[in-house]
Amino acid sequence: MVQSVNPRTGAAFGPTYSDTTSAEVSSIITSSVAAFKKWSKVTAGVRADVLSAVADAIDSHAAKLIDIADQETGLGVPRLTGEVGRTTFQVREFAKAIRTGQFVAPQVDHFVDAPLPAGHPELIRSMQPLGVVVVFGANNFPFAFSVLGGDTASALAAGCSVIAKAHPSHPQTSTAVFEIVAEVFAAHGFAQTLSLIHGVEAGAQVLSSESISAGAFTGSLRGGRALFDIASSRKNPIPFYGELGSVNPVVALESGLKDPKAFATGYLDSLLLGNGQFCTNPSILFVPEGSPVLAEIESQIKERKPTPFLSPATKSGHDANRNELASLLGAAPIVGEEKNDGGLYSAPAIICTQIGDPHFNLEALRLECFGPTGVVVAYSSVGELIETIGSLEGALTGSIFAAADDGQALGVSTAIAKKVGRISWNGWPTGVAVSIGQQHGGPYPASTSPIHTSVGLHAIERFLRPVSFQNFPASVVTQLLS
């Protein structure tokens, strides 16, 4: 059973939500299987019409949804307004893509009458929806990575039905979004195409069911790995697309630090955006030894004010990891302003270290401190910098700040690119565009499938299975693919 907590006050409020029972889960799975059979058979144009109607319905209820989410997350109206806009934008982008046949239209490879290897029969490569998908909502994006987030939107666009697990830190927002979407689907004759469950055990039960064809998750390494293991150890293993957190490297070369004050401000703005509760924040900043930017960062962090955590669990996890980081690196955090009024706050902080220092610890650079804490690492040579980057674990994203004519930039960029799914030039890693060229994934443990993305239009490919039809009569294959 869960109840919302106001991060600004620490007080619980609103209705309580009981975990979905085992019997209820079984019923939901049965309904979702039936819904899939219907939803997967309609044309992409019909699916696009329904998805467009869903986006319109969410936009029409935006003010109410934002108010609820702000009370549950403390993220603020401006941030949440933008997130609702992003959520409906990505739903419409998937609708637009499938309406034009992108990703879902069959590809015809015509018969070639020639000797092997050039000759071959006619092959029609189709993309078939996988089946029922379970989506585990994220804590830090109550709209864009939650019940109607990118995972759900892309799976629905592919023709899959979805069972969404509500995140316990925003159950009211999850329920409100679900009810709006479910009403639209029912009005169009596709009831149960989207379902909602609550509770850890309910989520595990759904993922374990042989009726489920794929899972998608955004959250912690511990939670995501546990779910990945369930998906992999089933009698019939299924794809599990997990984003498991990320320690993102940002490198500043000397040539990229022409304005130390502005650079420090940009770094702290990115680090502390959303109280640091972004999977793309600049977790580790590498700067040259002796650079004036170090003193500038230390000075500016002391003036930064705290903002609320998303939940008590997020705060406690962050505080424990900050203490562990400080212990591993043998360095006391340099902190900003404190706030002790009962809300879910911790002072923003940085922890400084240097490669080659007796206390320098590579293990510390693999520990994600999800929240308002960053690690600043000084380096004395580009060689040791590249070697250290090579020892990092996989990450979602990274950045390099350098002049275009800096001869050292190529080697450093190459090192970063081997560890991440997206690398930015002279730009901070926070902020992920929903576009055709986006890659939001990376080597493990950033994600469980580095060849896929959970943001952008290519996210739909995770929920489509290729099937080729060889030498089929036109009359038959047309019916099969209609």
Measured between alpha carbons, how far is 239 from 474 in angstroms, rounded to an integer? 32
**pLDDT at res. 170:** 97
Confidence of residue 340 (pLDDT cuts 50, 70, 90): confident
The per-residue pLDDT for 14 is 97
Residue 342 confidence (pLDDT)? 86
Q: What is the pLDDT of residues 77-89, one digit of tens each?
A: 999 999 999 999 9
Tens of pLDDT, residue by residue over 440-465, are 999 999 999 999 999 999 999 999 99
Mean per-residue pLDDT for 8-37?
A: 97
pLDDT at 210: 97
Q: What is the distance in angstroms between the CA of the first residue and the CA of the last residue of the chain?
A: 44
Report how far Cα 381 is from the mean position of its chain's Cα atoms. 34
pLDDT bracket for residue 401 (50, 70, 90): very high
| pLDDT at residue 341 in the model | 83
Alpha-carbon gap, residue 232 to 240, rounded angstroms = 8
User: pLDDT digit string (tens) for 259-296?
Assistant: 999 999 999 999 999 999 999 999 999 999 999 999 99
pLDDT tens per residue across span 140-156:
999 999 999 999 999 99
Per-residue confidence at 407, pLDDT binned at 50, 70, 90? very high
Query: Is the CB of residue 360 less than 8 Å from the CB of residue 331?
Result: no
Span 426-444, mean pLDDT?
95
Alpha-carbon distance of 241 to 47, in angstroms, equals 23
pLDDT score for 482: 79
Can you list the domains of the chain with their CATH numbers?
2-244+447-481 (3.40.605.10), 249-425 (3.40.309.10)
pTM value is 0.96
Q: Report, as residue numbers or ranges, the catalytic residues.
A: 243, 279
pLDDT band at 110 (very low <50, low <70, confident <90, very high): very high
Token duo for residue 102: 């992108």
Q: Where are the alpha helices (DSSP H) in 346-421?
A: 382-390, 409-417
Residue 39: band (very low, low, confident or very high) from pLDDT cuts 50, 70, 90: very high
What proportion of the chain, given as a percentage, has pLDDT over 70?
A: 100
